[in-house]
A and B are shown apart, each in its own frame.
Chain A
Amino acid sequence: GESVGLHLPTLSVQEGDNSIINCAYSNSASDYFIWYKQESGKGPQFIIDIRSNMDKRQGQRVTVLLNKTVKHLSLQIAATQPGDSAVYFCAETRRRNMLTFGGGTRLMVKP
């Protein structure tokens, strides 16, 4: 598959444990944040989003937390599974349809 990044931060977790992936953003004017998952050889896949007027949003096995005070975003994955192994990107929008992506974190799930 395609390499999506050779120098990514890596998070290694045991199968069944919870994972927390962090992202710092720089622009306080960003009003919308998205987490994407990218598996080897594939394009990014939408996971969950959150608007700037919220601080938490839950999906199926995933939770996104937003701390606007410190410009920090996190993605929590409950009961991590081998299929969760991928590169995870946060993205922010500063203006309409202008997505700005973070550098990505590689999640490795150990069986």
Chain B
Amino acid sequence: EAQVTQNPRYLITVTGKKLTVTCSQNMNHEYMSWYRQDPGLGLRQIYYSMNVEVTDKGDVPEGYKVSRKEKRNFPLILESPSPNQTSLYFCASSSGLTGHGEGYTFGSGTRLTVV
């Protein structure tokens, strides 16, 4: 089954403790992206990647890092999490044939709470 898999689904952590949220897709998609979703703010793009070793900032990149060492994986790294990073996070991938949003497949989300 074609899918985007995020782990963990739920995570509670303390301020300053480094964490990584993993994202993997099995569709051989070139484009991958991370979003955070907050009440009243919709989904905001954190980082995206157009291909292996190619990443770029989205609307809200501060406090996050990403890497794209291989095509299928696009982990989101919080080096020093803070409470304002408490949010619902989604990873998405796309074939990007036209560079637009059709065919974006989203993961099921990761609920992160930073205390």
Contact = CB atoms under 8 A, between A and B. Distances in A.
A8 B33 CA distance: 24
A103 B40 contact: yes
Interface string B79-110: 00000000010101010100111111111110
Interface residues of A, number: 28
A41 to B, nearest CB: 7
A44 B31 contact: no
A100 B108 contact: no
A2 to B, nearest CB: 6
Contacts of B42: 5, 89, 101-104
B contacts with A: majority SS: strand
A49 B102 contact: yes
Interface string A11-38: 0000000000000000000001010000
Interface in A34-62: 34, 41-46, 49
Interface of B: 4, 31, 33, 35, 37, 39-45, 48, 50, 58-59, 88, 90, 92, 94, 96, 99-109, 111
A8 B40 CA distance: 7
Contacts of A41: 108-109
A69 interface: no
Given A42-B108, A44-B90, A89-B43, 14 more contacts: A2-B109, A5-B37, A5-B42, A34-B100, A41-B108, A43-B106, A44-B106, A46-B101, A46-B104, A49-B102, A97-B100, A98-B48, A101-B44, A102-B42
